[in-house]
Structure 1
């Protein structure tokens, strides 16, 4: 009678096979996560670079517009002094006169932010940076957009340029190219015309002062965001 062959379970063999499969699965999962993290980091880096470029362009525009409004406000003072027959420098008369009515508009550059939202805001790991970028683009842009939509400077040009120009035209001197070179003094106009011009200049100055305040706040906020983005990029490199 034949003896049945005893079955011996080779636990070592199956243990190492199971361990090998486990290690392979975990490694594949880890590699997949690493690859995804790397793609996300690269995407975050590229988005932040685009944000930096957009913010730099915005900062230049804001600084120029702020300076333009400061000079426009100064031009209102110049024109008021001219009308009251105070001594003024006529060499820059054309610049001052033009800037009393000049318009300095700001068109926000949302390229970087649009790229960020298309990828998903969560791609930025720094919570504070994400909040700052979102607040800058959503809150400050909305405020500035509403101001630009009102377009007070263009409206002021329509409302105030011609009444002021009609009063001062008799005192203007032009060169052969048709450029304003002098507004002769003394300027003798009625008290009513003088008060009207003063009221126009006061409203123009108030509008400039408001825009200067908004641009100053926006400039401060933008510089904070810009520095935070640059610091984050430096840490990623």
Structure 2
């Protein structure tokens, strides 16, 4: 009886051991599957962010090119006015674009999806920090602070002054002529407005360049993470 009891006990312990091992294996498989799902989800969201960032990079370049052009045109008018140069038809487009600038329309959809899923889905802490900084700081500044300052300048200063001194072409919104070009040469209010436009525009371009540099580095970092 003692021998049989000992055998039954060993058999029972063996069964328990096998059950425990089975449970641990199942748990490990489950954890592995969960980790695999998270990895797939991380790769998917990084690919989406990568695509959006490249689209935003193209938008930033387009903004910089357009705003650089408008700043140069404003400088051309300043040069003619301050150096007492005669009016030229090439200034028609410069006067037409005095109140124009390019607003940044950046893509936030993938980043919003990341926030909904949880930022911790991205394992690399530095990469996660750089992505958050790009959207919450760099993009936020361009699309809110900088663009808002341009709108305020346009509505409070540029529109009231240009409406008094410039006549727009009915056939082209990008063309305009001054009502009295010669009088503008001694109009300090008009010249000061041009200087303010150039200062705002070129300051914005400098910020665009800084963001573009950071954006290029972030896109490269995501490329490495995906590889």
Give TM-score, length-normalised by structure 1.
0.79
RMSD: 3.0
The alpha-carbon deviation at position 164 of structure 1 amounts to 4.3
Which consecutive residues of structure 1, in runs of 5 or more, have no partner in the other structure?
none
* Cα offset, 1:29, TM superposition: 0.7
User: 1:52 and 1:180 mapped to 2: Cα distance?
Assistant: 35
- Bigger CA radius of gyration: 1
Are 2:128 and 1:148 aligned?
A: no
1:59 and 1:219 in contact (8 A); partners too:
yes
Q: What number of residue pairs does the alignment pair up?
A: 222
- Name the CA distance, whole Å, in 2 between partners of 1:82 and 1:40: 62
Aligned to 1:218: 211
2:125 to 120, 124, 127: 127
Aligned residue in 1 for 2:21: 23
Structure 1 residues 45-194: aligned runs within 5 Å: 45-83=43-81, 84-86=83-85, 90-91=89-90, 93-144=91-142, 145-150=144-149, 152-153=150-151, 155-156=153-154, 159-161=157-159, 163-164=161-162, 166-167=164-165, 169=167, 177=171, 187-189=181-183, 192-193=186-187
Quickly say closer, same or farther: Cα 1:207–1:178, change in 2 above 3 A. Answer: closer
Q: What residue ranges of structure 2 are gaps of 5+ in the alignment?
A: none
Q: Is the 8 A contact 2:92 2:177 kept in 1?
A: no
TM-score by length of 2: 0.82
* 1:189 alignment partner, SS class: helix
Q: Is the 8 A contact 1:85 1:187 kept in 2?
A: no
* Secondary structure in structure 1 of the residue aligned to 2:97: helix
**Which one is further off, 108-117 or 135-144?**
135-144
Residue 149 of structure 1 and its aligned partner are, at CA, apart by: 2.8
Relative to structure 1, the CA distance from residue 27 to residue 163 in structure 2 (aligned partners, 3 Å threshold; closer, same or farther) is same
Cα offset, 1:76, TM superposition: 0.8
How far has the Cα of 1:165 moved from its partner? 5.9
Relative to structure 1, the CA distance from residue 128 to residue 53 in structure 2 (aligned partners, 3 Å threshold; closer, same or farther) is same
